[in-house]
A = this chain, B = another copy of it.
Amino acid sequence: MADVAQRANVSLMTVSRAIRGVEGISEQKRVEILKIARQLKYVPNSAARSLAVANSNLIGISLPTFAGEVFADILNGMRRTFDSAGYSSVIDTTEYNPEAELDWVRRLLSWKPAAIILTGIDHHPEVRDALRSAPIPVLEIWDQADDPIDVCVGIDHRAAGRVIGQHARDCGYEKPSFVSAPRGHDVRADARLQGIRDVFEGVDVLTRRPELSDAFSTGFEGTRDLIFAAKPDVIFFLNDHMAFGGLMACQMAGASVPDDVGIVGFNGLDITGVLPIRLTTVRTPRRLMGITGARNLLARINGVTVQRSTILPIEFCPGETTRSK
C-alpha cells in the first residue's frame, strides 16, 4: 500500500479510502489510485484490516456432512446471498460430533467472523456459552427452537412426523416402522419419529438404525432386515434416497408396494422426479431456508432486528407408495 501511495503522491490514508470506496477523497484521485494499485498488483491484507477494525467478512457455516442433497441445497441458498454481499464462507463438517463442532467454533471465533451458522439446535453446551458471550450474529438452521442462541430458521420436524404418521394411519396401516440413522446421528429424524409416535399412540414404532453407509444402501438393508424380522406394513424413511433403497429391497423380497407395505420418504429429493411410481414424501423448502436464513443474518449483521425464530411451511406429497384412503 505504501508503494501505491508513493507512486500516486498521496498518503496511506488516501489510498485506503480509495480502495475501500469510502468518502473523503475526490473522484479523480480515486480513479488514479485504483489504476496504480492494479498496475502494481497490490493485494490488500485482510488480516491487517481485520485487526484494525476488529471484525472480518468471514462467515462460518457448520454442517453435519456434505453428503446428500439436503445440506447442498441449504448451502446453495445461503452462499449466493453471502457471496454477493462480499462475505467468504468458512465451512466445517462436524460428522455429527459435538466436540468437533465446539473445536471449530473456537477456531472460528479467533477470526472475529461476521456471523456463524450452525445446523440444528443441539450443540455442545460450551458452544452456547462461547457464542452467547461473543457479540456476533448466530443462525441456527434446519430445526426450530423456542429459545435460539440468536436467530433460527427451520421447519417443525415433529409436526412433519405427525403429518406423515396421520396419513399412514388414515390409509389403514397399523404396523409402522422407521428406518433411520445411528442414534445421535440425526436428531431431526428422531423428532419426526416422535411425531409418528404421537399419531400411533400405543403402537410400537419399530426402528432400525443400520450402520452408516450411503443412504441408498442403508435404506435397502434396513428394509430387508425389517421385512424379514418384523413384517411391518408401512415403513417411514429418514429421506427419499433411503426410501428408494427400501423400494428396491421390497421389490427384491417380493413385497408389493403399497399393498403389502407402504413406503414413506422425506425431503422431496430430486430422484422422486423420475421414478415410475410416485413416492409418498414431504417436500422441505431447503433452498428457501438457506435464502431466508442468509437474509435474516445479513439483517442482523446490519443491526436490524429480525424475528428470532422462523418456521417454514412444508408440503406433504401423497404418492403411490402408500395405499389410497
Contacts and interface: CB of A to CB of B under 8 A. Distances in A.
Interface string A247-283: 0110110000000000000000011011110000000
Nearest to A52: B47
Contacts of A111: 46-47, 88
A216 B47 contact: no
B76 A93 contact: yes
Contacts of A83: 92, 100
A110 interface: yes
B76 A66 contact: yes
A183 interface: no
A137 interface: no
Contact of A214 (B56, B112, B273): B273
B112 A58 contact: no
A274 B76 contact: no
A298 interface: no
A134 B271 CA distance: 43
Interface in A28-53: 41, 43-48, 50-51
Contacts of A191: none
Contacts of A251: 276
A69 to B, nearest CB: 7
Nearest to A57: B107
A21 to B, nearest CB: 15
Q: Which of A104, A106, A273 has the most CB of B within 10 A?
A: A273
Contacts of A45: 51, 110, 112
A161 interface: no
A72 B67 contact: yes
Contacts of A244: 271, 274
A65 B79 CA distance: 11
A284 to B, nearest CB: 15
A66 B58 contact: no
Given A47-B50, A72-B67, A217 B270 contact: yes
A240 B66 CA distance: 19
A314 interface: no
A16 interface: no
A219 interface: yes
Contacts of A252: 276
B108 A88 contact: yes
Contacts of A195: none
A273 B69 contact: no
A176 interface: no
B75 A66 contact: yes
Contacts of A214: 270, 273
Interface of A: 41, 43-48, 50-51, 56, 58, 65-69, 71-72, 75-76, 79, 83, 88-93, 100, 104, 106-112, 133-134, 214-217, 219-220, 241, 244-245, 248-249, 251-252, 270-271, 273-276
A-B residue pairs, 5 tightest by C-beta:
A214-B270, A47-B50, A66-B72, A46-B110, A47-B51
9 contacts: A45-B110, A47-B48, A66-B75, A66-B76, A67-B69, A67-B76, A76-B93, A88-B111, A217-B274
